[in-house]
Structure 1
Amino acid sequence: MTRTVITQAIIYLRLSDLRQEDLNEDGTGRTFGDRERRLRELADRWGWQVVKVVVENDVDPRTGKARPASAFKRRKVTLPDGSTVMRVIRPGYRGILRDLKSGVASGLLAEDLDRVLRDPRDLEDLIDVAEAKKINVRSLTGSLTLTDGGTDAEITLARAMVAFANKSSRDTSRRVSLGRERKAIAGEHGGGIRPFGFEQDGVTPLEVESDFLAYASTRVLQLNKKTRKPWTLASLAAEARDAGVLTSTGLPMTAEALRQLLLRRRNMGVLVYNGEEVGKLPGEPIVDPEVFRAVVRLLTDPSRRCNPQGPAPRWLGSGIYGCGIHLDGTTCNVGIGDRSPRYKCKASSHLTRNAAHLDALVQATLLQRIARDRGLVEQFVFEADKVPVVDLGALRAEADAIRIELDGLAEDRIRGQITRSQMLRGTELGLLRLEAIDQQIRDAAAVESPLVQFIEVRDVAKLWNSQPLSVKRFVLDTLMAVTIMPVGRTGHAFDPTGVELRFKSPGELPVAA
């Protein structure tokens, strides 16, 4: 065969697991530099000029790091016509096809056929471009060869080998899937990233992380009972960051990451495979099943804004301290300008106060009152904390029955057996009862308010200093009303008389959730 001289060629390298032929004699893996060098030597033997080197890899969305790119795994994509199909996503490979089609290059060099192609559709796209532009393709192993667009024998061989490579990938995928299913049923970790809250075996609880999961699950429900609003996940995520609790991949905790962790059924000792419960972990679960179910109901309820946008507060009184000029409930936030951090009215720049001095005054006044008046906190521990004994199984059964009845109302309306007003009235009553049942179950899952620990405490200051900012803000917001008042000119010194401190009466709702 006469060798065709090509002056422009592209080298294609795909980030993938090292195979036996990728190992040096000493057992170490070859780097991309080593692999590229071998392909450049092949280009020299053929007299080809390399104009581009394409290294295909994927990016892990959780870590931002490169990870092996697959020539087999497919994902759902939406085509221009709006239809959804499964495709292998490889921008680097698609870019090569565009370059070959546009004339940027007229040759392709790769290590092996299965490093480039494991999906028949990808091969046919390459054949189409090769035949149209008379492209030449070579590989180090000789498994992928197309000469001047490809001969019949070369194209047939390529199709056969891609079919076998595709089958091999499917076999491997099936074996791995079955292995993970067996492990899940047996209560073992199926491999991959270490699940948060557990050791690498996926079974043994990791104390710091498991304690935080249990704590966060309870906190979400505790404060919701008081305000009828969910506790912000941003605040709980900030607590995790302050405590040095990272995700299992070593990243700082975020509100969305925490939400996903709290919704994971492994927390209550249940193992899931393909969305179905297939096994249980040995030992006691990290989160009580009733607490977990209450958290799921809360965080998945579409009528609640469970994950408000914006950063968690970083100051004791942000959004809590009131403005003494705007008497409509306008509060103050901390601004940092040329001077030290200062509380400022949200609506204007008046009534600025030194943030550190104001927080110190409020904190000292609050702690002195708690220490002096032992009954102060107790009267604010709301009745929902005194949870009666309830039959949770009966409540869940009643809720299921109501949902069935609601479905039946819709069917009766379609058949004309009831009027529209009857359907709406029945639906309204059913939803109200469901909300009441949901609240009973949620209240039963979380027994105590953060206020309870301040009842009859001996060292108030020590307990206060050990609390995260979100708990301090909750205690302050429940017990005190702080208003920044206008004062005359006093120079640059902080004037305590310009702050109105009032202890609330039981039953007053806090300003901030």
Structure 2
Amino acid sequence: MEMPQKAIGYVRLSELRTDDLNEDGDGKGNVDQIQRIKQRAKDLGWAIVHMIVENDLSPGRGKNRPASAFKRRRIRLPDGRVEMRTVRPGFRQALDLLATRKADGFMALDLDRTVRDPRDLEDMIDVVEQHKVLVDSVTGSLRLGNDADITMARVMVAVANKESRDKARRVAAARERQAVAGEYGGGRRPFGFDEDGLTVRPDEAKVIEDCTVRFVQGASMRSLAADLRERAVPTVTGTRWTAQTLRDILMRPRNAGRMVYQGEEIGDAPWDPIVPLDTFRALQLILADPDRRVGPGAAPRWLGSNLYCCGICTDEAFTNRVGVQVRIGGRQPAYRCTAHNHLVRAVKHVDALVEATILGRLAREDAVDLLPSADPDVDVKGLRTEAAAIRAGLNELAADKALGLIDRAQLIAGTQRGKARLARIEAVLQEATVDSPLASLIGADDVAAVWEGLPLSHRRLVVDALVTVRILPTTRKGRGFDPATIDLRWREQDHPAESA
């Protein structure tokens, strides 16, 4: 058989760390394997055309791409079958190149660097036998040229596989002991904590607490992430804040002082909670709701986007609510109806009127009356249990409809009742578990200064909590802003608000 002239060189490390990189940014172990593979190929008369590095730093992201042995998923094999295999895209790429004859040989450091799962080995044996390709290694441990080589490879892989499983079992047991004992399991520093994973960082803890409370109050993840970007709050890795990044951080039970093992809470942590447990449970309840509305696009950049309403499309009772959004054009940003191009009003004038009215009310001595009164008799745990039961019931309704046990009208009626009750439960839980967004403003020495220091997402919560705003069509001729075209009403008292 002729020596391969378009062979594959296959390089893999079990784990590549940043401190393992050389001056050129390449893994030192990877570089050593490449050199040894090239030298072995040269000695045998092979030509390496494809050099596949399985474990490396992702280009432009600086994140490890591990080739762990037991991260499995469904993949398509070279013969077209779909099977469960290890997540090792480089190895699968090599088999595809061999199967399509784009490569005619395979060279690795040794058997252990190539496969540890018997299924992976059998996939390689299938390709070798079907397409008559050569397989070799620097150490001589990987050869599939005859039955004796294949049998020895199978035995060695089976032994290595058992060692890997034994190690994984010991590591899992150690992780469980650490979790039960309230110890940190290692890894990247969690946002909000020092490198030891136990000591709370006050500045980052404040971010977690503020974002959790504001989300439960009604702010969106996108708007909260935008606030953090605007304030240049750093993440642990230095990447930019996104809604998903923030969601992952806020959903950690460790924020509420709870230890976790394999996704389940198993006890209290040794550090003080950053977020009260009731508040954390409220956040979980909201995020677990499959019917939660997640708006597309960027976070709102303006105070009244989709809070203010078009006064032509929206009636006084808000039975048909049509919001407004800002469009940049002309001399200044303006609020426009989202449904029709029949209403335009300058952002600066509307916002100034709304802010002046709200701040004037918050500066009064009786501003404390705006705070919702907490009900000490609220059964928080019972309401959460009821909410979970309602969601389960809604799923059962859908199943009953699919089985023909109920008709469409019954499905709609039951769903409407369930969702209405869920909305009432969430409103009660919000008031019972978090402070009002007005709390930092009421009683302040300088309400305007506090308002200016609030992020946009918090200001929008205040507006939404206090007033409804309809932008009415103007009847006055000529230029200039007419305050009478802004129908601004207090939510609790159904009468027009007096501007400051």
Task: Tell me whether the two structures share a fold, i.e. TM-score over 0.5.
Answer: yes
Task: Report the counterpart of residue 74 of structure 2 in structure 1.
Answer: 77
Task: Report the counterpart of residue 281 of structure 2 in structure 1.
Answer: 293
Instruction: Name the aligned partner's letter for residue 243 of structure 1.
Output: R
Task: Report the counterpart of residue 318 of structure 2 in structure 1.
Answer: none
Contact 1:71/1:119 (8 A) holds in 2? no
Question: Quick check: 1:219 aligned with 2:207?
Answer: no
Normalising by structure 2, we get a TM-score of 0.79
Cα distance in 2 for partners of 1:356, 1:289 equals: 40
Contact 2:334/2:344 (8 A) holds in 1? yes
After the TM superposition, which residues 236-315 of structure 1 pair with which residues of structure 2 at under 5 Å, given as runs? Answer: 236-305=224-293, 307-315=294-302
Shift of 1:246: 4.4
Task: Report the counterpart of residue 444 of structure 2 in structure 1.
Answer: 457
Pick closer, same or farther for the CA change 1:311–1:433 going to 2, 3 Å.
closer
Cα distance in 1 for partners of 2:342, 2:2 equals: 80
> In the alignment, which of 345, 368, 371 is matched to residue 337 of structure 2?
345
- Secondary structure at 1:210 match in 2: helix
Per-residue Cα deviation, 1:177-223 (whole angstroms, up to 9, x for no partner): 22211211111111123223222222111212222222233233335
Shift of 1:66: 4.5
Task: Report the counterpart of residue 150 of structure 2 in structure 1.
Answer: 155
Pick closer, same or farther for the CA change 1:134–1:337 going to 2, 3 Å.
same
- Secondary structure at 1:138 match in 2: strand
Instruction: Name the aligned partner's letter for residue 193 of structure 1.
Output: R
5+ residue gaps, structure 2: 316-320, 401-406, 496-500
- Secondary structure at 1:315 match in 2: coil
Question: Quick check: 1:51 aligned with 2:49?
Answer: yes
Instruction: Name the aligned partner's letter for residue 321 of structure 1.
Output: Y
Question: Quick check: 1:389 aligned with 2:349?
Answer: no
Instruction: Name the aligned partner's letter for residue 132 of structure 2.
Output: K
> In the alignment, which of 431, 437, 442 is matched to residue 443 of structure 1?
431
Identical columns (%) = 41
Contact 1:406/1:427 (8 A) holds in 2? no
Cα distance in 2 for partners of 1:31, 1:336 equals: 54
> In the alignment, which of 205, 210, 213 is matched to residue 210 of structure 1?
205
Task: Report the counterpart of residue 477 of structure 2 in structure 1.
Answer: 488
- Secondary structure at 2:112 match in 1: helix
5+ residue gaps, structure 1: 224-230, 414-419
Normalising by structure 1, we get a TM-score of 0.77
Shift of 1:397: 10
Contact 2:350/2:486 (8 A) holds in 1? no
Task: Report the counterpart of residue 93 of structure 1 in structure 2.
Answer: 91
Task: Report the counterpart of residue 467 of structure 1 in structure 2.
Answer: 454
Cα distance in 1 for partners of 2:104, 2:82 equals: 33
Pick closer, same or farther for the CA change 1:45–1:396 going to 2, 3 Å.
same
Per-residue Cα deviation, 1:99-136 (whole angstroms, up to 9, x for no partner): 22232222111112111111111111212222233221
Contact 1:110/1:139 (8 A) holds in 2? yes
Number of aligned pairs? Answer: 469
Cα distance in 2 for partners of 1:351, 1:30 equals: 64
Cα distance in 2 for partners of 1:394, 1:130 equals: 61
- Secondary structure at 2:135 match in 1: strand
Cα distance in 2 for partners of 1:79, 1:153 equals: 29
Pick closer, same or farther for the CA change 1:397–1:252 going to 2, 3 Å.
closer
Contact 1:269/1:285 (8 A) holds in 2? yes
Cα distance in 2 for partners of 1:175, 1:313 equals: 49
Cα distance in 1 for partners of 2:220, 2:338 equals: 20
Contact 1:137/1:144 (8 A) holds in 2? yes
Give the CA RMSD over aligned residues. Answer: 4.2
